[in-house]
Amino acid sequence: GAGVSQSPRYKVAKRGQDVALRCDPISGHVSLFWYQQALGQGPEFLTYFQNEAQLDKSGLPSDRFFAERPEGSVSTLKIQRTQQEDSAVYLCASTSGASSVSPLHFGNGTRLTVT
């Protein structure tokens, strides 16, 4: 596709519900990142994939957060038993290479509101 696509754009969940957020990276991009951006803050790293391998999940805040990228393209971030502190914008980014020099392309994010 032309850019990184994320869906849904907005999601409202009741506390305790499970949610799944989708990221469709640019075709052929090897690396994929998820970030969490709380209101008025900068994005914070959650997890990183190189193809289908999850190489770094050190930023996931709890075991309620789970990410996968089974075929090395589309990725899903799942949050189980959502809590109010999970309310944030979730950004996905992809890049063509595995090195640090490749520029990141970000999606428009999913705004999650937990009520």
Partner 1 sequence: AQTVTQSQPEMSVQEAETVTLSCTYDTSESDYYLFWYKQPPSRQMILVIRQEAYKQQNATENRFSVNFQKAAKSFSLKISDSQLGDAAMYFCAYRSSAISSGSARQLTFGSGTQLTVLP
Question: Which residues form the interface with partner 1 (CB under 8 A)?
Answer: 31, 33, 35, 40-45, 48, 55-56, 58-59, 89, 91, 93, 98-101, 103-104, 106-109, 111
Please state, in angstroms and rounded to a whole number, the distance separating the CA atoms of residues 89 and 7. 12
CB 4 within 8 A of CB 14: no
Q: Which is nearer to partner 1, 16 or 53 (CB)?
A: 53
Please state, in angstroms and rounded to a whole number, the distance separating the CA atoms of residues 112 and 84. 10
The residue type of 83 is: Q
Q: Which is nearer to partner 1, 38 or 62 (CB)?
A: 38
Query: Minimum Å distance from CB 16 to partner 1?
Result: 26
